[in-house]
């Protein structure tokens, strides 16, 4: 009989504010259950970040996901971060290695893996809409895969800054009218289209027929208006759930050191989101 949790249960969790709607507990706990690992994954709503990070060490919590608004601020409280987290400037994963807190980032991998499932990225021309933290993670991952990147953002100065970092070009959103025909892939990294504003779309839908693949990082609703319009025009579409799933899978494999049960984690995610 399954007697978990017990006195030897390992603790994992997510640190953010708010975290009440996080889907990470559902994914990771389903993986622990399937693989019969004696561990639990909890959500911690944290405003005092330094105290919470000290608590990871004090309580021997094995691994932690970090989400909004702590991904950048957490860096100063960690013992070590890897090169990718440094380049992205954000940590979404903490690994507790015998009391040494190591920070890394799996957001970029989530985005890249979701795309690579449907298209090879080398030399592909990709428009990223948005220039915030998510865009930054995805752009750095895509640059390393040899993609050619254009950043289009409402605030052009931020697009420029990110374009410099990933060796890409940049523009405002209006310019998409003229340049979309030169590109293969479109990725929306802005919150436009997110429930309850699910009737909004970040680009003129008629431009979508220019792209082979359209990905949205918004996952509520799962099929955003952007993806619906793209699908109507024959594009392959990738939902935001894929990036969410694959960044979690990368975390799980870093913590547990064995392959994550992807299908079961995806099933749990879909069930939770209804």
Residue 176 CA to residue 180 CA, distance in Å, equals: 5
Residue 18 CA to residue 27 CA, distance in Å, equals: 18
Q: Does 132 bind ligand ATR (CB under 6 A)?
A: yes
H-run or E-run covering 271: helix 262-273
Q: Does 92 bind ligand ATR (CB under 6 A)?
A: no
What lies within 8 Å, CB to CB, of 173 at 6+ separation is 129, 152, 153, 154, 202, 203
The CB-of-217 to ligand ATR minimum distance in angstroms stands at 7
Q: Which span (39-47, 77-85, 185-193, 239-247) binds ligand ATR, by CB under 6 A?
A: 185-193
Residue 114 or 268 with smaller CB distance to ligand ATR: 114
Let me know the angle formed at the C-alpha of 30 by 25 and 32, rounded to the nearest 5 degrees. Answer: 95
Closest CA relative to residue 273, chosen from 69, 67, 14, 22 = 22
Q: Does 176 bind ligand ATR (CB under 6 A)?
A: no
Binding-site member from 16, 25, 110, 133 for ligand ATR (CB under 6 A) = 133
Binding-site member from 53, 88, 128, 135 for ligand ATR (CB under 6 A) = 135
Structure tokens at 163: 């374009």
Q: Does 261 bind ligand ATR (CB under 6 A)?
A: no
The DSSP secondary-structure symbol of 101 reads: E
According to CB under 6 A, which residues from 35 to 64 bind ligand ATR? none
Catalytic residue IDs:
71
**Number of residues near ligand ATR (by CB under 6 A):** 15
Q: Does 89 bind ligand ATR (CB under 6 A)?
A: no
Q: Does 221 bind ligand ATR (CB under 6 A)?
A: no
Q: Does 153 bind ligand ATR (CB under 6 A)?
A: yes
Q: Assign 3-state DSSP to the chain and report helix, strand, coil percentages, each to 5.
A: 40, 20, 40
Binding-site member from 189, 210, 224, 251 for ligand ATR (CB under 6 A) = 189
Q: Does 72 bind ligand ATR (CB under 6 A)?
A: no
Residue 77 dihedral angles phi and psi, to the nearest 5° = -95, 0
Binding site for ligand ATR (CB under 6 A): 130-135, 153-155, 158, 189-192, 202
């Amino acid at each position: 009989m399954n007697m978990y949790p017990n006195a030897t249960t390992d603790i994992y969790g997510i640190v953010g504010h708010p975290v009440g709607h996080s889907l990470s507990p559902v994914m990771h706990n389903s993986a622990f259950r399937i693989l019969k690992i004696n561990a639990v994954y909890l959500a911690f709503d944290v405003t005092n970040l330094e105290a919470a990070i000290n608590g990871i060490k004090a309580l021997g919590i094995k691994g932690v996901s970090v989400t909004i608004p702590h991904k950048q601020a957490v860096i100063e409280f960690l013992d070590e971060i890897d090169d990718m987290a440094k380049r992205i400037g954000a940590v979404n994963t903490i690994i507790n290695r015998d009391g040494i807190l190591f920070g890394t980032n799996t957001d970029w991998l989530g985005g890249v893996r979701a795309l690579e499932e449907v298209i090879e990225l080398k030399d592909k021309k990709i428009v990223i809409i948005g220039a915030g933290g998510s865009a930054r993670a995805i752009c750095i991952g895509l640059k390393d895969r040899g993609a050619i990147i254009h950043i289009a953002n409402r605030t052009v100065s931020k697009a420029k800054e990110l374009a410099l970092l990933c060796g890409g070009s940049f523009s405002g959103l209006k310019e998409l009218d003229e340049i979309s025909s030169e590109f293969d892939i479109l990725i929306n990294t802005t919150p436009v289209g997110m429930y309850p504003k699910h009737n909004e779309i970040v680009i003129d839908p008629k431009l979508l027929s220019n792209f082979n693949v359209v990905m949205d990082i918004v996952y509520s609703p799962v099929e955003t208006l952007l993806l619906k319009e793209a699908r109507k025009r024959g594009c392959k579409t990738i939902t935001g759930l894929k990036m969410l799933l694959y960044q979690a899978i990368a975390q799980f494999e870093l913590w547990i050191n064995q392959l994550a049960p992807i299908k079961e984690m995806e099933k749990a995610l879909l069930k939770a989101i209804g």
